[in-house]
Amino acid sequence: MQTVHRAYFKDSRNMQAIGSASVELVVTSPPYPMIEMWDEGFGALDPAVRKALKANDARAAFALMHAGLDAVWKETHRILKPGGFACINIGDAARSVGDDFMLYPNHARILSCLLELGFTPLPAVLWRKQTNAPNKFMGSGMYPAGAYVTLEHEYILIARKGAKREFSSKEEKRRRRESAIFWEERNAWYSDVWMEPKGTRQNLKKKKPRTRSGAFPFELAYRLISMFSVKGDTVADPFLGTGTTLRAAAAAGRNSIGYEIEPEFRQDVFADLAALTAQTQQRIRSRIDEHLAFVEQRLADGREIKHINRPYRFPVVTRQETELLFDLVEELSPFEHDSLRATYSNDPVRVLDPRCSTPTNHRPETNGQLYLF
Ligand SMILES: C[S@@+](CC[C@H](N)C(=O)[O-])C[C@H]1O[C@@H](n2cnc3c(N)ncnc32)[C@H](O)[C@@H]1O
């Protein structure tokens, strides 16, 4: 199997390189309106934003910033196939402009745009991002009534274009079965409050154009891709930043395509392909390790596990997991302009054994026993 990952260093208000109804999933995180680190970026796209901020007209600035994002949500709707999903990570902002402190409800504003565009909104994830920062409490401290509650969560908005996706052909059904997630992953991932992943390091190769990238964690993109698409699909990210979505898509065996307005991020997106390959492999193996630990605990608790996963011969809780099959990235290599190609192995020996350095066709004798037990 192979997948391709392409970046365009252009403005995503017009994603003309992506055909209409051509991608199955959009995973993204826009610059957050009214968070100070993004003021300059919004101002560069629309000078009226700068003017409004200078005049302390925060409500006008908020409206103008979102007008810029609305154009990208419209493009998002255009490029998605019917039945495709949009997952948008966004935080609200709380800020003083002039003498006025208020909340800027970015998630609500984006949701209402999605509704207007005809998306079907679905239950969202509240991503808890706890901080120990001493300044997390805002306002009058111990004196009522001028203190404000902390802002320690973000949202992952989830919306679908049109009706439910159909998996009609034999091939589509197979890809879906192989893309199953573990039962215990389902229980955590499809919960409406995520206590993790933790935030991510914001280091950039160059300190320009900003000192922080605003990157989301690899795990966030990886989970969403695993939850809302199947192998071989294409995932788009209109606000690519450092390329987290491309890396997570490669790890999950999906194709990907991203837009990023700052060409300086090219070197972050295509940095250190060997390390990137290792990161994708590590995630597959940690899923297996976590599953095996879960199985061990469940058996130790005296609970039954009825089914066996066919490729790996380990126990799984439900029939839906029996054909779950991982594709392990063997190599990520440059491919055409601003693109990568990933090649995979799905040999169970290679996938299960991190000590194997080369793919092998050798299958250990199982004698009808479980593969690992
Ligand atoms: C919150 S960051 C995304 C970070 C990304 N998820 C990551 O993990 O690195 C938003 C990104 O959108 C980019 N951006 C802002 N407006 C844009 C536009 N109109 N078109 C394309 N990219 C844009 C910014 O430069 C920034 O890198």
What is the pLDDT confidence band of residue 373, given thresholds at 50, 70 and 90? very low
Query: Which atom of ligand 1 is closest in space to residue 216's alpha carbon?
Result: 8
- The mean pLDDT value for 259-266 works out to 96
Percent of the chain with pLDDT over 70: 91
Nearest to 18 by CA among 88, 72, 89: 72
Distance 260 CA to ligand 1 centre (A): 6
Q: Quote the mean pLDDT of the chain.
A: 92
The residues that bridge with 340 in the sheet, in sequence order, are 5, 334
Name the architecture of domain 10-137+146-213: 3-Layer(aba) Sandwich (3.40)
| Ligand 1 pocket member 76 (CB < 6 A) | no
**Local structure of residue 368 (DSSP, 8 states):** T
CA-atom Rg of the chain in angstroms: 22
Q: What is the pLDDT of residues 56-94, one digit of tens each?
A: 999 999 999 999 999 999 999 999 999 999 999 999 999
| Ligand 1 pocket member 106 (CB < 6 A) | no
Query: Which atom of ligand 1 is closest in space to residue 244's alpha carbon?
Result: 8
In testing the pocket of ligand 1, which one of 32, 200, 240 has its CB within 8 Å of the most ligand atoms?
240
- The mean pLDDT value for 330-341 works out to 94
Distance 54 CA to ligand 1 centre (A): 23
User: What per-residue confidence (pLDDT) applies to 82?
Assistant: 98
Amino acid at 46: D
The position carrying tokens 């992506």 is 18
User: What per-residue confidence (pLDDT) applies to 359?
Assistant: 37
User: What per-residue confidence (pLDDT) applies to 103?
Assistant: 98
- The mean pLDDT value for 14-37 works out to 98
CA separation for the pair 32, 35 (Å, rounded): 6
- The mean pLDDT value for 23-44 works out to 98
In testing the pocket of ligand 1, which one of 46, 223, 260, 276 has its CB within 8 Å of the most ligand atoms?
260
CA separation for the pair 120, 122 (Å, rounded): 6
**Local structure of residue 373 (DSSP, 8 states):** -
What is the pLDDT confidence band of residue 366, given thresholds at 50, 70 and 90? very low
Q: What is the pLDDT of residues 101-126, one digit of tens each?
A: 999 999 999 999 999 999 999 999 99
CA separation for the pair 223, 254 (Å, rounded): 12
State the CB neighbour count (10 A cutoff) for residue 55: 12
Dihedral pair phi/psi, residue 6, rounded to 5°: -125, 140
pLDDT at 364 over 60: no
Domain ranges of the chain: 10-137+146-213
Distance 288 CA to ligand 1 centre (A): 32
Contact 313, 265 (CB under 8 A): no
What is the pLDDT confidence band of residue 371, given thresholds at 50, 70 and 90? very low
In testing the pocket of ligand 1, which one of 13, 36, 90, 261 has its CB within 8 Å of the most ligand atoms?
261
User: What per-residue confidence (pLDDT) applies to 336?
Assistant: 87
Q: Between these two residues, 167 and 199, which has the higher pLDDT value?
A: 167
